[in-house]
Amino acid sequence: MSLGALVSALADHLTATLVPAPALVGGAVPAAREELPAVTISIGEANERVGGIGGIGAVPAAAATAEVTVDLARPAPALLSKDRRTLGLPLGPPVDALTVALGDKALAVAAKAPGKGEVQPNADRRELKFGSALPASGTLRLRYPPSASSGRRAGKVHCSSTCAPRTPPGSKRSAGRSHPRSGRR
């Protein structure tokens, strides 16, 4: 998800949940009284963090097809479950074009619970579920396509609210407010 799409999604959520809904919600700063009250959303210090179990990393966006081979006789404990039916993905979440092969035999990708000879990717959990236990020996090959960037973004989301003054500008009451730092009128 792009950072712009994230700001839009947050704006949609705030618009739907705040009561009353602000006149302006999103990445724009209010420029006119009619746009108040407003909530401005910004993202700072954003960067892409590399995903993957054990800090192995992600496939760079411009890289050639990446292939990971898992030695089933000696898999990393963090990768393969005790029942040998769930594999944590070493290069981050699965993508549509990810292929999985047990030895030289490609496994079919299942949309629901996998059967024998099938695998079901779960992007949210960053894992593959197999229809039957993986053998105690052999290799499992995972191939990621060239454009598979599996990094995760990190940053700080800032929300600032701007409200309309309670009294019209120029009135005696608004002109007589105390200065917040000095206490002077």
Instruction: Tell me 180's DSSP state.
Output: T
The arithmetic mean of pLDDT across residues 114-121, rounded, is 92
Mean pLDDT (whole number) for 2-17: 78
pLDDT, residue 85, reads 94
- Please check whether residue 119 is in contact with residue 130, taking contact to mean a CB–CB distance below 8 angstroms: yes
Would you state the structure tokens that stand for residue 87, as one six-digit string?
């594999």
Domain boundaries, the chain: 3-48+152-167, 51-144
- Give the SS3 label for residue 120: strand
**CB under 8 Å to 89, separation ≥6 — which residues?**
52, 53, 126, 127, 128, 142
With 0-12 / 13-18 / 19 or more C-beta atoms within 10 angstroms meaning exposed / middle / buried, residue 24 is: buried
Is 89 within 8 Å of 120 (Cβ atoms)? no
pLDDT value of position 107: 93
For residue 137, what pLDDT is reported? 93
Distance (Å, whole) CA 119 – CA 111: 9
pLDDT of residue 168: 61
Task: Provide the pairing of β-strand 24-26 with 38-49.
Answer: parallel
| Contact by Cβ (8 Å): 92, 58 | yes
The percentage of residues in the chain with a pLDDT greater than 70, rounded to a whole number, is 65
Tokens 């700072």 -> residue: 44
Task: Give the pLDDT confidence score for residue 2 in this predicted structure.
Answer: 62
- Please tell me the distance from the alpha carbon of residue 105 to that of residue 139, in angstroms, as a whole number: 10
Q: Are 66 and 89 in contact (CB under 8 A)?
A: no
